[in-house]
Structure 1
Amino acid sequence: MTAFTLASWNINSVRLRAPLVADWVSQADPDVLCLQEIKCQNEQFPEEAFREMGFRHFHVRGQKGMHGVAIASKFPLEDLGDEDLCPRAEARHQRVMVEGIELHNFYIPAGGDEPDPAINPRFAHKLGFLDRIEAYFKARAAENPPLVLVGDFNIAPYEHDVWSHKQLLKVVSHTPVETEALERIRQAGDFADVARELIPMDEKVYSWWSYRARDWKKANRGRRLDHIWAAPAVRERALAGGRDAFRIWEDVRGWEKPSDHAPVVLRIGG
């Protein structure tokens, strides 16, 4: 198995931001790039632009006008088929085999503004999706499969994954019902949360900053919504490079016409 660089990025429209991706790829040189919120159908994915970036293999699960996930890779991808994880059957999940790893790319729903499933169908959908993910990985745990999960989970689980733990406890993405559901998923597969395995829990880590801030960098009211997790079978490979092998490219958030998410990158050992 070859060492490779894995990246995850909620791009918030891949057609609009393909030039931004190209600029970033020229610096970061990822081997496997997992994208979320591509906002296009399969046939609309700008494959030629990604071929010019050096990618040769693609797996796209698009949807008209919204959602959508895609993987662009320099290594061959084996399509492992879809799983029935999203209650609304939206294009929010895909899985492939690449370099001995079963890679899952997730775009978990944001959940709207009101953290009450009784009055907010979008939040109920999010919780239902999380329940299905937990059941799926719990059922597969005995296989000890070589799983890596990446994507925009739309949940910042820990105190220092948000700019203010106290002020965001009732804000969707950091409510206890969400963070506890995400922790159940992590425990179901005994996953290592790579960022928090490599970065101390008391250190602030963000991957998302709202468009609403006049000066996102000065305000720095971020959240860590984007994740890379590794199952026990690949934990050693995933953590082999130490902290230097993991990076959130925060400066990309300040580029022209950016996504509100920054790319998250991990060098996985051979």
Structure 2
Amino acid sequence: MSWLTRSRQRLTGFIARRETPDNLWTKCKSCGAMLYTKEFEANLSVCPECGHHERVGAVARFDMLFDEGAYQRLKAPAPPEDPLKFKDQKRYPDRLKAARAATGETDALLLAKGAIKGQQAVVGVQDFAFMGGSMGIAVGAAFVAGARAAIEARCPFVMFTAAGGARMQEGILSLMQMPASTVAIAELKDARLPYVVVLTDPTTGGVTASYAMLGDVHIAEPGALIAFAGARVIESTIRQKLPEGFQRAEYLLEHGMVDMVVKRHDLAGTLGNLIRHLMKA
């Protein structure tokens, strides 16, 4: 054994190996750039290289939206769980338990009340990290609760959508949330209060077929996937190749499906101005 090898072994006993955190760097899913995580999060999870808007959780959305990050969380009803006793590869309660452990939340839709650029609003945010933001009984109940909280406070209801559609483990009960949310939106309209939808990536399925497309104003984040059925399903049905960028926010803006595409940095200001004008009207 050489003196160099012996020296390395001795040094190893005295100097602890420095550990590098796994989350120190974030790789952009669009351009592949390696980004320092703290700087990436400080930039509202938007890639400074290509402008890709990464998905964010509900709490992070509240923090970046409300003035000074100050808001009041609103409690949503707790409907019965696993009404159909559903089981696929896993039991439904086990899937709920895993999603709750991963996100720290009870279900996919969170509610909060606060000021956006000085304008009071009730805001609902779907978290795609919770079972793909899927719409189940709890999401439907939370949506109705958010709309009625806005009516009670005489302020707009702003809904951030992010979902893969209806929650299959709840079957027809999940689909019943589509008309339930539609009734809640009608209550807002009867109260002459604005309902504003912010479409984030991805918004698909039954959510798109219900409350995501019933707003007074529709805003989308850049590059967001907004669709009912997947592109491959549509292509196999109509037997045609879809246009480039089909179902993305910019394509929908060009074809009149959304009113504006707004970058995340400008979203709070846009919503504040919009609410101010709508409430004066």
TM-score w.r.t. length of structure 1: 0.39
| Structure with greater contact order relative to length (CA < 8 Å, sep ≥ 6) | 1
Greater fraction of residues in strand:
1
Larger gyration radius, structure 1 or structure 2: 2
Greater fraction of residues in helix:
2
